[in-house]
Amino acid sequence: MPTCCGAIRAMIRFENVTKVYDRKARPALDSITLEIDRGEFAFLVGASGSGKSTFLRLVLKEDRATSGAVYVAGQNVANISSWRVPRLRRGIGVVFQDFRLLPQKNVFANVAFAMQVIGKSRSVIRSTVPEVLKTVGLEGKEHRMPHELSGGEQQRVAIARAVVNRPGILLADEPTGNLDPTTSMGIMGVLDKINQNGTTVVMATHDDDIVNEMRKRVVELRNGVVIRDEAKALYTSMIPVVGQSRRLKDASGLDDLVGPERVSQDGTSSGEAMQ
Amino acid sequence: MRLAFILSEIGSGLRRNLTMVISVILVTFISLTFVGAAGMLQLQINQMKGYWYDKVQVAIFLCSEGSAAAGCASGPVTEEQQKNLEALLRSPAVAQYINEFQFESKEDAYGHFKEQFSNSPIVDSVAPDQLPASFRINMKDPEKYQIISETFASQPGVESVIDQRKILEQLFSVMNGASVVAVVIAAVMIVCAILLIATTIRLSAFSRRRETGIMRLVGASKTVIQLPFILEGVIAALIGAALASGTLWAVSYFFLGDLSKQFQDTPFISPSQTLVLVPALFALGVILAGISSLLTLRRYLRV
């Protein structure tokens, strides 16, 4: 066991981590070494299939690294026995692109659910949930059902649920992927506020506007390798990365821009980009 | 709090899957009824065997007051006749065929009779005097019954020599056959029940995959996630077991009750004796629900 918490600066640490799903294909992550410090806000950018989701899954111990070590809050997740995995996950909040709210429960119940299932008392739930809803800007909407909320509001509920148990880490997997730019900025405000309160935030995203606006650390992955790790960075590096910003235009059908991008990529990731 | 939460999860699970839950209840009900029927047949066999069946093969009944048999013309057996018979049993000519023998007095006979026929009204109409005393013989080789019979049937003071096994064995083999059939049907039905419970839990896990996914993410323990599913199966199986127990009790109360009035000289098991089977049925229900849900959850509800 590593020594106590004070000594650990890195909230998430990857040491030469490789993840192979299919022996015939290239690895999803290829010997990645990376540290994300306590209280940091980091963007994880890169094309679909570049390894962002695999990174998040390894932090959650949803998957096991093929080789190398993943440390979360100083603990090697490979050494966490399966019955202790829930405790690891209580220290990590997760937000997704598709919100994943429970449609038959109202806002309050959706957030309270995360506390109920880990056995928090009714009185603690009653006092904590409104507080968290206030943090994410949903005061007075406790009794709305998910379908009565806008996308941005639904994502705020999901964020509230992710942080209601006060995790040290918040993982966000393209949280603004389904939202318009203005709403997205609102969500970023919420995430920033949570980060200000001391939570480490790792956000995987494709949204260049947001990354450029926030000016936080940017870790760029391509084909399972970290090709850039800059503080206070932009979505695209000063050294242009071919094909990155054209991806959206590619998806929207501007064929004339596709040519050079195809050349720059191997078959797999190009295929995924088309989806 | 957590208990209340788990209970409400179970409630919603049962409601969402009501038709499947009903089919699980019915299948466990039928299968456990067959298991119980086999159990009842065995209980009935034990009841009919009475005190002596497993211990001896041949009974030599002695003359008592009012015996009509030819050998009893001179009245009830005398002390002397009884001593002679005992001596004959000990004599080398006879003893070589016998493991051991016991003497059952009228009082002993009355005690055993009361026990065996405890559920029958016939007990009240019989007095110790009416039951014959007897020698009960355990044979080295039950097939040599003929020798004992020939030796003792004509002795003074002997009313009759009876090979009890001969009388009951055929009946018991029919009943044993019936219980084997019941067990086979029960086994098939239990397989059905296990598969059905597994399917039900699978459906239930699928229809609640959103909830369980979120529970996983926020770090709910395996118990909190899986227990509602396991308990759903167990509750359905318990209801099935309760129905089966009720059915068996009803059969012994109404059906065997009627039979024991028609056949007063046959001892039948009582409804309260049937209740011995109830804990076993409940345990079996819980075990089969537990096993099938554990197997299913391992595959379909990863934690």
Could you report the per-residue pLDDT of B81-105, keeping only the tens digit for each? 888 888 888 888 888 888 878 888 8
**3 state DSSP class of B216:** helix
Domains of chain A (ranges, CATH numbers):
39-51+87-268 (3.40.50.300)
Give dist(CA B161, CA B153) in Å, integer: 6
Say yes or no: B216 contacts chain A, CB-CB below 8 A. Answer: yes
For residues A175 and A147, the answer to whether their CB atoms sit within 8 Å is no
What is the C-alpha separation between A222 and A241, in angstroms, rounded? 10
- C-alpha span between B294 and B205 (Å, rounded): 13
Would you call A114 and B213 a contact, using CB atoms and an 8 Å cutoff? no
- Residue ranges in chain A modelled with pLDDT below 50: 1-6, 244-275
Cβ within 8 Å, pair A118-B218: yes
Q: What confidence tens digit (pLDDT) does each residue in B166-217 have? A: 777 778 888 888 889 988 998 998 898 889 888 888 888 888 888 899 999 9
Does any CB of chain B come closer than 8 Å to the CB of residue A262?
no
pLDDT given at position A265: 41
**B-interface mutation test, from A117, A125, A126, most B Cβ less than 10 A away:** A117
Angle among Cα B149, B150, B154 to the nearest 5 degrees reads 100
- Choosing among B217, B223, B226, which should be mutated to test the A contact, i.e. which has the most A CBs within 10 A? B217
Distance of CA A267 to the CA centre of its chain: 26
| pLDDT for B303 | 61
The answer, for A117 touching chain B at a CB cutoff of 8 Å, is: yes
Does residue B95 belong to the interface with chain A, where contact is any CB pair within 8 Å?
A: no
Is residue B219 within 8 angstroms of chain A, CB to CB?
A: yes
Q: What pLDDT was estimated at residue A242?
A: 53
Q: For residue B53, how many other CB atoms are within 10 A of its CB?
A: 16
pLDDT, tens digit, for every residue of B125-164? 777 777 888 888 887 776 777 787 888 877 878 888 887 7
Give me chain B's average pLDDT, please: 84
Rounded to whole angstroms, how far apart are CA atoms A91 and B163? Answer: 79
Q: In sequence order, which residues have a C-beta less than 8 Å from that of residue B244 and are 6 or more positions away?
A: B28, B29, B30, B32, B33, B35, B36, B281
B15 to chain A nearest CA, in Å?
A: 15
B218:A120 CB<8 A: no
Q: Name the residue in chain B with its Cα closest to that of A117.
A: B220
By the CB < 8 Å criterion, does B299 face chain A? no
Tell me the domains of chain B and their CATH numbers. 2-49+169-300 (no CATH), 58-164 (3.30.70.3040)
Partners of residue B2 in chain A, C-beta under 8 Å: 116, 119
Report how many helices (DSSP H) and strands (DSSP E) chain A contains, helices first.
10, 10
Please say whether the beta carbons of B112 and B52 come within 8 A. Answer: yes
Residues whose CB falls within 8 Å of the CB of residue A189, separated by 6 or more in sequence, listed in order: none
The structure tokens listed for A98 are 């598709």
A165 and B218: CB-CB below 8 Å? Answer: yes
| B1 to A94: CB separation less than 8 angstroms, yes or no | no
Q: Give chain A positions within 8 Å (CB) of B8.
A: none
Quick one: pLDDT at residue B270? 83
Read off the pLDDT of residues B211-260 as tens digits, 9 standing for 90 and up: 899 999 999 988 888 888 889 889 999 999 999 999 999 998 888 888 87
Which among A87, A100, A162 has CB closest to B213? A100
* Contact between chains at A165 and B221 (C-beta distance less than 8 A): no
| Residue A240 pLDDT | 53
Give the residue from chain A lying closest to B216, CA to CA: A86
What average pLDDT does this structure show over B285-299?
Answer: 88
Contact A165 B216 (CB under 8 A): no
Tally C-beta pairs within 8 A across A and B: 60
CB contact under 8 A, A90 and B218: yes
- B215 to chain A, any CB pair closer than 8 A? The answer is yes
Q: How far is B18 from chain A (nearest CA, A)?
A: 19
- Is B301 part of the contact surface with chain A (CB cutoff 8 Å)? no
ipTM of the complex: 0.77
Maximum Cα interatomic distance, chain A, rounded to a whole number of Å: 60
Helices (H), A136-180: 151-163
pLDDT of residue A235: 84
Rounded alpha-carbon distances, angstroms, from residue A83 to A76, B220, B222: 15, 10, 7
With beta carbons under 8 A apart, name residues in chain A contacting B3. none
Sign of CA dihedral A53, A54, A55, A61: positive
Residue A69 tokens read as: 């070590």
The residues near B74 (Cβ < 8 Å, ≥ 6 apart) are B156
- State the Cα–Cα distance between residues A214 and A235, nearest whole angstrom: 10
